[in-house]
């Protein structure tokens, strides 16, 4: 087992997997056909990225694990995703704001990881960065259109921004796992990303006539260390039920 | 005896993309390399267009079948992520084939851009200009949906002839 990189790659894979599953819950229920297609296409990109990260994590783990065993046979405390991505879909405003906050971080994180000297991490990140750039463009566009839309859409978007803000701080927290990955040539300086993230998010929110909550507000954290909200257990119950009931089942 | 790689390239250029059959997998830039490995087995290197593209496995199977039809039973197919695929890997002929098929080819990327330009990621900008209608050629078009029938396409509408059309997303 590669202790420096394995938990770090697992975090990247879990973020993509959990958000993909959340977006998949909208399939067939989107507020418009175009939105339904967009959410499920973003989910598909994230699922592809999750497969690449988790396959690599499984190789680093090296005990016969594979992408499927990591996705279907771990319990909630073994998942290492950010709290933000496991938050329930809520209203469409909640889904869009969650996506926007994550996309803005994800684009920056992948840009940094793409410059990594660890070639496998760099390759996956460069591939994913192109997809996420498109996601960010779309979510930024919708923040502006719905923030600066009707009185009702503005109110719903502002409520979602205010409610989800407390889950954004965790993206810029660093611990020993981040430090070890950086030492192995694969991580990035989360503190410098925070400045860039705040500047970009602030600019888009302002264009959408939305108020950005104070950056120094109190923040929830723990997802990266496996301390999750109960929402994750419910998500996993649905995602894992088939493989837990019939291990190894195939199409 | 070695199979000539030029023959293999020709066979592969006859394999249509499963989702956009007007162009071949070679036109799309999905096939990166054809060579013989140290064990003399034929190795075909392919790259995915989108991470989650469901066509990737279908393409690998089509390659295996095509090679078997030509008597190469033990070819190995390798996946290569880097450098990442972009729509710049589309040949000019492929772009023309797309247009004739009714799909507007990608526009708006820097010429020759194959590497990641980080500055493009964070620039907040409106939809691409310069998407022309593949049917009537008008440049007066508008985006209907950023995502379309497959991961590689968006949906546009022509303001001049009123026809909706697929647009191959610049990537």
Let me know how long chain B is: 171
Structurally, chain B folds into a number of domains equal to: 2
B73 and B105, same domain (yes or no)? no
- CA angle, A52 as apex, A46 and A55 as ends, to 5°? 130
Mean pLDDT, range B146-171, rounded to an integer: 88
For the stretch A1-14, pLDDT in tens is 667 899 999 999 99
Contact status of A58 with chain B (Cβ, < 8 Å): no
How many whole angstroms separate alpha carbon A114 and alpha carbon A128? 9
For the stretch B97-147, pLDDT in tens is 999 999 998 875 544 444 444 444 444 455 556 789 999 999 899 888 888
Nearest Cα neighbor of A171 from A92, A96, A104 is A104
- Report yes or no on B94 lying in a domain: no
- Report yes or no on B92 lying in a domain: no
Provide the pLDDT confidence category of residue B152 given band limits of 50, 70 and 90. Answer: confident
CATH number, residue B27: 3.30.300.130
**Confidence (pLDDT) at B111:** 47
For A144, the closest chain B residue by CA position comes to B124
- Report yes or no on B86 lying in a domain: no
- Report yes or no on B85 lying in a domain: no
**Confidence (pLDDT) at A190:** 84
pLDDT at A217 over 90: yes
For the stretch A166-177, pLDDT in tens is 999 999 999 999
How many Cα atoms are found within 13 Å in the side-chain-facing hemisphere of A33? Answer: 5
Where is average pLDDT lowest: A39-43, A188-192, A205-209? A188-192
Residues of B in contact with A207 (CB under 8 A): 124
Residues of B in contact with A114 (CB under 8 A): 116, 118
B121 and B164, same domain (yes or no)? yes
Provide the pLDDT confidence category of residue B1 given band limits of 50, 70 and 90. Answer: low
- Report yes or no on B126 lying in a domain: yes
Mean pLDDT, range A147-157, rounded to an integer: 96
How many whole angstroms separate alpha carbon B43 and alpha carbon A169? 47
Ordered by start, the domain boundaries in chain A are 6-245
| Domain stop point among B21, B44, B79 | B79
Provide the pLDDT confidence category of residue A189 given band limits of 50, 70 and 90. Answer: confident
Query: Please, which residues have CB within 8 angstroms of residue B4's CB and are 6 or more apart in sequence?
Result: none
How many whole angstroms separate alpha carbon A18 and alpha carbon A80? 10
In the 8-state DSSP scheme, what is residue B106?
P
Average pLDDT, chain A: 95
Residues of A in contact with B83 (CB under 8 A): 126
pLDDT at B17 over 70: yes
Higher pLDDT, A71 or A2: A71
Domain that residue B164 falls in: 100-168
Which architecture does CATH list for A6-245? Up-down Bundle (1.20)
B75 and B105, same domain (yes or no)? no
**Confidence (pLDDT) at B121:** 45
B14 and B57, same domain (yes or no)? yes
| Domain stop point among B45, B79, B113 | B79
| Domain stop point among B46, B79, B112 | B79
B11 and B73, same domain (yes or no)? yes
B118 and B71, same domain (yes or no)? no
For the stretch B38-80, pLDDT in tens is 888 999 999 988 888 888 889 999 999 999 999 998 899 998 9
**Confidence (pLDDT) at B130:** 79
């Amino acid at each position: 087992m590669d202790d420096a990189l394995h938990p770090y790659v697992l975090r990247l894979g879990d973020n993509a997997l959990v958000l993909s599953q959340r977006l998949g819950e909208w399939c067939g229920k989107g507020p418009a056909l175009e939105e339904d297609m967009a959410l499920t296409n973003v989910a598909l990109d994230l699922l592809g990225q999750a497969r690449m990260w988790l396959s690599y994590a499984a190789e680093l783990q090296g005990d016969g694990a594979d992408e499927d065993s990591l996705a279907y046979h771990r319990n909630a405390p073994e998942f290492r995703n950010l709290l933000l991505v496991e938050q329930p879909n809520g209203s469409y405003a909640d889904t869009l704001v969650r996506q926007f906050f994550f996309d803005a971080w994800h684009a920056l994180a992948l840009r940094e990881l793409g410059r990594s000297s660890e070639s496998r991490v760099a390759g996956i990140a460069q591939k994913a960065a192109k997809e996420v750039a498109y996601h960010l463009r779309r979510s930024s566009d919708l923040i502006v259109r719905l923030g600066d839309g009707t009185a009702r859409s503005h109110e719903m978007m502002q409520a979602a921004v205010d409610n989800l803000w407390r889950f954004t701080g965790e993206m810029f927290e660093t611990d020993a796992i981040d430090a070890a990955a950086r030492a192995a040539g694969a991580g990035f300086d989360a503190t410098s990303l925070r400045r860039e993230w705040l500047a970009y998010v602030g600019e888009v929110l302002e264009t959408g006539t939305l108020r950005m909550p104070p950056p120094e507000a109190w923040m929830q954290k723990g997802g990266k260390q496996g301390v999750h909200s109960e929402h994750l257990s419910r998500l996993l119950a649905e995602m894992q039920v088939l493989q837990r009931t019939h291990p190894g089942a195939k199409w | 005896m070695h199979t000539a790689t030029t023959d293999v390239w020709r066979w592969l250029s006859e394999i249509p993309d499963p989702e956009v059959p007007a162009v071949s997998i070679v036109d799309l830039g999905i096939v990166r390399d054809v060579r013989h490995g140290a064990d003399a087995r034929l190795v075909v290197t392919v790259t995915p267009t989108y991470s989650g593209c469901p066509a990737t496995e279908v393409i690998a199977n089509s390659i295996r079948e095509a090679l078997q039809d030509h008597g190469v039973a033990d070819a190995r197919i390798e996946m290569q992520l880097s450098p990442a695929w972009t729509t710049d890997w589309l040949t000019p002929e492929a772009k023309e084939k797309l247009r004739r098929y009714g799909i507007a080819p990608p526009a708006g990327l820097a010429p020759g851009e194959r590497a990641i330009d980080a500055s493009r990621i964070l620039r907040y900008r409106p939809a691409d200009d310069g998407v022309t209608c593949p049917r009537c050629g008008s440049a007066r078009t508008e985006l209907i949906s950023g995502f379309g029938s497959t991961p590689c396409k968006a949906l546009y509408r022509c303001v001049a002839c009123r026809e909706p059309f697929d647009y191959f997303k610049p990537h």
